[in-house]
Structure formats: structure tokens, C-alpha cells
Amino acid sequence: MFDTHIHLHLLPQQLKMSGPVLVPAVTQEDWHLMLAQFADQPNVLLALGLHPQQVDCWCETCRQQLKRLLHHPQVVAIGEVGLDAALESSGENQEIVLRQQIRLALEVGKPLILHCVKRYGRLLEILQQESAATVGGIVHGYSASVEVALALHKLGFGIGVGRLILNDKARHVAEAVTQLPAEMLVLETDAPWPQHYGPQDWTAVLTHIGQKIAQLRNESEQDVLNTTQDNARRLLKLSAGWKSEV
């Protein structure tokens, strides 16, 4: 199983994951911390970037530092970056910083890990304007419609299916998971958030998510796990020779 969005640096340090994971940064301080903490864990891949809640920290020095660190071989993506209508940071600043991070992704040729809350229309516009389809990536914690997901698919993005799928009230997410092409789907826990539902054994969480997807799509659990892992490797542009425990 491949967890494509887990904040492992915020979980107990003795926790070791059996399968591959992608750990996205939130703050600038996370960047060096994550590179140091996971240097000896080849199954832990990193995404470095600035979360929309942190955009007021963005400056040219920050941009240059990020650009330099993006060349580290353990860093496979830029993230998590995006737009969030629920945050106090201004929408204008969020858009400026998102555009600059997309341009960095294009410079280094690495995919994006996107965060979006109630701004999918604007996100699509910016991705199109900035030619983000060149690198593609994953929209984590997907919570919008089938139509929006298909528009993202045309731009080379998959969607992260997380614990929201375990909430029976999230019918729109279930509808998207049921109807979208299998090649779009990847698994994620977003641990340690959100903490208000679902078990706290993160490997078990990922299993439950895979089981729910299999149930909704009338597929075998093994097929879902194989497909989502293959999708993660493709969307993250991992080399054909990349190996990990599964």
C-alpha cells in the first residue's frame, strides 16, 4: 500500500511504515527537518513546498531555498501547495504563491501535491494558465464533484482518496470514487489529520480506505491496492527501477 499523503514528521518518531509513503511539508521549517529525519528511510519520499496557510512567510529567499532543496533525490514533488477559502491568509496572496511554486515545479520537472478547499474553479484556472499539465500530480483529500475531477484529470492530476470516504455522509466523494477512471485514484491518510473520525492505526486506516473503494467500485481489494500503487508511482514520476516494500 502506498500512502500518498501522510505527515509522518508529526507522528511519533519510532513509527516505521511498512510500505512507501509520501510526506508533504506544510511550513518552511519542515523542509530541513524532514530531509534530516528521513535520510535513512528509502521508503519515505518527500514533497517540499509551502501550504496556503503559510503564504505570508513567502519571500525571495524562501523561493531560492525551496528551489535548491527540490533537487534533493528524496524530494519527488512540490507540496503541499494550493488554495483554501477557509484560511485567514488572503486569497490573492495564496494565488501568487501557488503560481510561483507551480513555476518551480516546471523548472525542476517534478509533480505537484495540491491542497484545495472550496476554490476548485480558481485552482483549475491557475493550473491551465501556468501550464501545470506539464508536470501534473495529485490533488490530495479530494472533496469536489466528478466533473471537477475529470477536468483535473485532463491536466494530468489524480485524486487522493482519504478518510472522508469512510464517512457515509460524504456522498459526493463516494460518487466521484465510483464514477472516475481507476487510473485517477490514489490512497492517502493525511495523518495525523483529521482526528475526529476513523481509527488511529495508520496502516489500518489505509486498508479501510482501500476496502471502501473496492466496495464502491465492485472490485477486489487487491486490484484496488495494485492499481492505486501503480497510479501513485506514475503520478509521482518514479523511475521504473524504483523499489520499495509493499
Domain holding 185: CATH number?
3.20.20.140
The answer to whether position 55 is within a domain reads yes
State the residue range of the domain holding 87. 8-235
The answer to whether position 2 is within a domain reads no
Give the angle subtended at the CA of 126 by the CAs of 154 and 192, to the nearest 5°: 85
Q: Is the CA virtual torsion 114, 119, 124, 126 positive or negative? A: negative
Cell of 97: 504563491
The answer to whether position 45 is within a domain reads yes
The answer to whether position 107 is within a domain reads yes
Instruction: Say which residues have a Cβ less than 8 Å from residue 4's Cβ, sequence separation at least 6.
Output: 21, 22, 113, 138, 140, 160, 186, 187, 188, 232, 236
Please answer whether residues 187 and 210 qualify as being in contact, where contact means their C-beta atoms are separated by less than 8 angstroms.
Answer: yes
The answer to whether position 127 is within a domain reads yes
Rounded CA gap, 142 and 173, in Å? 7
Q: What is the pTM of this model?
A: 0.94
User: Which of 105-132 are b and which e, b meaning 16 or more Cβ less than 10 Å from the residue's Cβ?
Assistant: bbeeebbbbbbbbebbebbbebbeebeb
E strands along 85-179, which residues?
112-117, 137-139, 157-161
The answer to whether position 38 is within a domain reads yes
Rounded CA gap, 137 and 37, in Å? 24
Rounded CA gap, 46 and 31, in Å? 9
Residue closest to 5 by CA, chosen among 59, 58, 45, 42: 45
CB atoms within 10 A of CB 222: 10
Total domains in the fold of the chain:
1
What pLDDT, on a 0 to 100 scale, did the predictor assign at position 64? Answer: 97
Residuewise pLDDT in 10s, the chain (246 residues): 899 999 998 887 656 666 799 999 999 999 999 999 999 898 999 999 999 999 999 999 999 999 999 999 999 999 999 999 988 878 899 999 999 999 999 999 999 999 999 999 999 999 999 999 999 999 999 999 999 999 999 999 999 999 999 998 889 999 999 999 999 999 999 988 765 444 467 778 899 999 999 999 999 999 999 999 999 999 999 986 665 543
Rounded CA gap, 183 and 39, in Å? 31
What pLDDT, on a 0 to 100 scale, did the predictor assign at position 246? Answer: 37
